[in-house]
Amino acid sequence: MRRRSPVDSSSDESEYTGSGVDDGLESDTDLTDVDTCTDEDDEQCEGAEGEAWLSPDEDHPPEHYLQQLETFDEREYTKEDYKDSSTRLLDRMEDQWNQCWTFLEQDHLHDYATVSVGTLYTFFDWLLEHRRGKGGRRRRGTKYASSLGTYWKVFRLVYERATGVRLDGKMNRSMHKVLRKLAKKHSLKKVGRDKACMYVEDQTLVLQTNLVTTEKRYPHGRCRIQAQFYLQIGGFTVNRPGAILGLCYRHIRVTLLRDPEGGPHRVLLEFTFEFTKEFLGIKDMNTFPLPEIIYDESLIFSPHVLLLGMLFHDRAFAAYNLTSPEELSKLHIPPGRNELPLRLSRELDNIPVLRKAVKTPTGWIISPNEPLPYSTLLPWIRALGQITGFEQVTRPYSLRYAGGKAFNENGNVSEAMQNLMMGHASIGTFLKHYLSRRVRVDTQAVVRGIQPQDALMRAACTMSRSIDHRRPRRLTPEQSASVNDHPTVRSLLDRRERLKRALKNATKHPKYQELNRRINREKQRQRHALLQKVKEHWEYEQPVRDVEQQLTSTEIKDDHKVGYSTLLPAQKELVDAILARPGLTLEEEIRRRNTAISAVMRYCGIEEGGMHLSRPKRSSGRITPPGKSEESTQLDLDEKALEAAKVAVYKETRPRICFVCLGNENLPTELRTYSFYTSVDLSKHFKRKHLQHIKEGDELRCNLCQVCLDSKMHLRRHALDVHGTVS
């Protein structure tokens, strides 16, 4: 009998695929796509059909598969499938379980078969009082009852992983009472951490702060752009930080799309998030299309400007001559088509879009292939929230909380679509773990049947309501020095003095060095505790002082000013381009967009340096000569400063300008020509910033002299003989 062709069998595909239900298998070939035979070969096909599968043309002999069957370990496939971070959490809990019974000298209780309510009470009581972690490091301790509940959940997973069965329901119910008693015994707070939402009003302020602040100095200019881009994408797509940080160029599609309403062509960005949270397999990838907004009030919310700037800087487009926004503006969609795909180079498929900054002997560069870690992003977002003046702590997840709430309240987003975008199995996950416990509904208006004050209620629930730039963010020098009088620090300092008198060359002795590290850790711990107390006292006492001053007609001073004059030239150019007003015509609007993209491109190539300049800007107080613009005057001044610095590093016996920084063209002129207070300060800088970061195999070079250097010793010799820098 003749086999059916794929065309013949397509109508009843459900017979082969289970009535159209996806069985989870992925294949490039349809299950109904079978080989066909011609009429002349029907008999041969029917004769060979029954035996062809018995002798497949494979590379491995039967013995290979038989051996594989004998050595197959089913435990690898029957245990729960956790990500590496979850596995580390379970391993840590298992280590603590073993440490507890080793400390109590009850080795027989290591066995999970001996678990009882009594042993669990003893273990968690020990865990809450235990203050030393791995390597003797001091732990921060547990403050919230919800954390104790998390410990219990993790332990149940550890028990199930070790025994293959779950704890019975009776013990689970008994443990609820145990956890309540332990929380009361150790005075754990019952109020959990506030799920602070960064609404669009708050997000706007943080984005502006990131653009204009000089308090937060990034090592490289692209880091500032990446922080800005994350703040935008995190709010628009509500994806987890790991998914956004895992974006590679293969996950991005850039398209010139025809406007169905007859407007100008739009740049469409499509983000496909692959590295979402996984459990029992890989989730389907969600794609978020973001169309360009023409005549937007501000480009501060435009991911198109930032991403296109990074793409042009990386020369990421497959078309070799698409290297600038001006060339992008020349493109059009031919008649009869609705899109013009702008393909990215396949060589960059696995390169992360957001990458970490790496310290080299000559300065900071952006890693060619290492992704930006979450441990770097988190302090960035926290610092920006503090500089903005928020009382609440800003976190990357604050964007996900706020975006999820916006989707939940929007009538155009169904519950199914919300679960799809947020990667939740049901709406219960959002209600339990994401929805803020702060009620934003005007309940009195609802009960009384009057018009609700929606704008006022929204303002009452934002981070922006707490803005106060006077809020302390760091200790004063006097407060920082006061930790030396803390009894614990004082005792350690006395021990160090006794050890110094008892040993010869004590500073090089391992005991002395270990004690030094312990003193530094303790000082840091006490400074952190003191800063928390200062903040708590300020939050209560400052409003009281403000009220008293107002009632006594005393003027309240707020010295906070945004210092645009202190911005680096490239940063000022970036700020002006991003915050520019919309154009009056389409040509002006396209020009505004292209100017902003070009500013992002240039800023991705500069090095901020990560240090603050204490001296005033050189151009301060100067008058622009007639017939010259301020920019051309500044360029002339920069050229003169660079020439004077080059003369100094060659002619002076002991110069105070770093020749390595001077030769780094990615640094701003202020940092390239920075003059240290003494030549000794220059030597310290040279060792700490340049020599310390030389690794085996690094290519060393003096950009001023245009010579290659063979080794670290050769660089030190060159620094002394040619540029007078002692190291």
Kindly write down the DSSP assignment for every residue of 233-293, as one continuous string. HHHHH---HHHHHT-BGGGEEEEEE--TTS---EEEEEEEE-S---SSSPPPPEEEEEE--
Q: Which of 28-32, 547-551, 664-668 has the lowest mean pLDDT?
A: 28-32
- Residue 560 and residue 572: Cα distance in Å, rounded? 19
pLDDT score at 634: 60
For residue 478, pLDDT over 90 is answered with yes
CA 521, distance to chain mean position in Å, is 26
**Mean pLDDT: which of 311-320, 396-405, 644-653, 697-706 is highest?**
311-320
Give pLDDT, residue 636: 66
- In this prediction, residue 689 carries a pLDDT of 83
DSSP 287-330: EEEEE--TT-S-GGG-HHHHHHHHHHHTT-BSSTT--SHHHHHT
Give the least confident one: 191-205, 391-405, 569-583: 191-205
Percentage of residues in the chain having pLDDT higher than 70: 83
Residue 20 has what pLDDT? 40
State the pLDDT at residue 55: 52
Helices 510-551 and 487-502: angle between axes, nearest 10 degrees: 150
Measured in degrees and rounded to the nearest 5, phi and psi for residue 190 equal -85, -15
DSSP-derived pairing of the beta strands 266-273 and 252-257: antiparallel
CA angle 578, 583, 585 (to 5 degrees): 150
For residues 419-445, give the mean pLDDT.
Answer: 85
Q: How confident is the model at residue 620 (pLDDT cuts 50, 70, 90)?
A: very low
Count Cβ atoms within 10 A of the Cβ of residue 299 and give its class: 0-12 exposed, 13-18 middle, 19 or more buried. buried
Can you tell me the mean pLDDT for 353-375?
90
Q: Cα separations (Å) of 283 from 86, 273, 277, 279?
A: 17, 10, 8, 8
pLDDT at 531: 93
Any idea which of 317-331, 633-647, 656-670, 672-686 has the lowest mean pLDDT?
Answer: 633-647
Total Cβ atoms within 10 A of residue 550? 11
pTM of the model: 0.77
pLDDT of residue 275: 64
Q: How many CA atoms lie within 13 A of 221 on its CB side?
A: 25
Q: How confident is the model at residue 725, as a pLDDT?
A: 86
Give pLDDT tens digits for 115-144. 889 999 999 888 888 776 666 666 777 888
CA atoms within 13 A on the CB side of 66: 3
Q: Name the residue with tokens 């669990």.
A: 120
In this prediction, residues 484-509 reach a mean pLDDT of: 89
Position 109: which residue type? L
Distance CA 264, CA 299 (A): 18
Ranges 45-54, 363-372, 711-720, most confident: 363-372
**pLDDT reported for residue 33:** 45
Most confident of 244-253, 498-507, 665-674: 244-253
SS3 label, residue 613: coil
Taking 90 as the threshold, does the pLDDT of residue 341 lie above it? yes
Q: What are phi and psi of 364, to 5 degrees?
A: -95, 140
pLDDT confidence of residue 631: 56
Lowest mean pLDDT among 158-167, 514-523, 575-584: 158-167
For 297-334, how does the pLDDT look when each residue is reduced to its tens digit (9 = 90+)? Answer: 889 999 999 999 999 999 999 999 999 999 999 999 99
The pLDDT of residue 58: 57
Q: Residues 183-200: pLDDT tens digits?
A: 888 888 877 667 788 999
- Please state, in angstroms and rounded to a whole number, the distance separating the CA atoms of residues 121 and 375: 34
pLDDT at 36 over 50: no
What is the per-residue pLDDT for 619? Answer: 41
456 neighbors 462 (Cβ within 8 angstroms): no
Q: With contact defined as beta carbons under 8 Å apart, do 172 and 157 qualify? A: no
How large is the average pLDDT for residues 372-378? 94
Max avg pLDDT among 114-118, 377-381, 654-658? 377-381
**In this predicted structure, what is the pLDDT of residue 651?**
82
Residue 624 in this model has a pLDDT that exceeds 60 = no
Confirm if 227 and 384 have CB atoms less than 8 A apart.
Answer: yes
pLDDT bracket for residue 257 (50, 70, 90): very high
Residues 18, 13: Cα–Cα separation, whole Å: 9
- pLDDT of residue 376 exceeding 90, the answer is yes
Average model confidence (pLDDT) across the chain: 82
Neighbours of 193 (CB within 10 A): 12
Which value, in Å, is the radius of gyration of the alpha carbons in the chain? 32
523 pLDDT more than 80: yes
Q: Which distant-in-sequence residues (6+ apart) come within 8 Å of 351 by Cβ?
A: 248, 249, 368, 369
CB 483 within 8 A of CB 527: yes
Distances (CA, A) of 416 to 23, 24, 218, 271, 427: 21, 20, 40, 20, 8
CA distance 709 to 717: 10
Tell me how far apart the 2 most distant CA atoms of the chain are, in Å. 108
- Predicted local distance difference test score (pLDDT) of residue 32: 39
Query: ∠ CA(424), CA(426), CA(429), 5° rounding?
Result: 65
pLDDT at residue 34, as a whole number: 42
Averaged pLDDT, 279-299: 79
Alpha carbons 508 and 513: distance in angstroms, whole number = 7
Q: If you average pLDDT over residues 421-444, what whole number do you get?
A: 84
Return the minimum-mean-pLDDT range out of 11-15, 105-109, 281-285, 594-598.
11-15
Contact 556, 548 (CB under 8 A): no
More confident position, 304 or 13:
304
**338: which 2 tokens?**
């609705």
pLDDT at 366: 92
| pLDDT of 37 higher than 90 | no
Task: Give the per-residue pLDDT at 618.
Answer: 42
Residue 625 pLDDT exceeds 80: no
Query: Cβ distance 383 to 222 under 8 Å?
Result: no
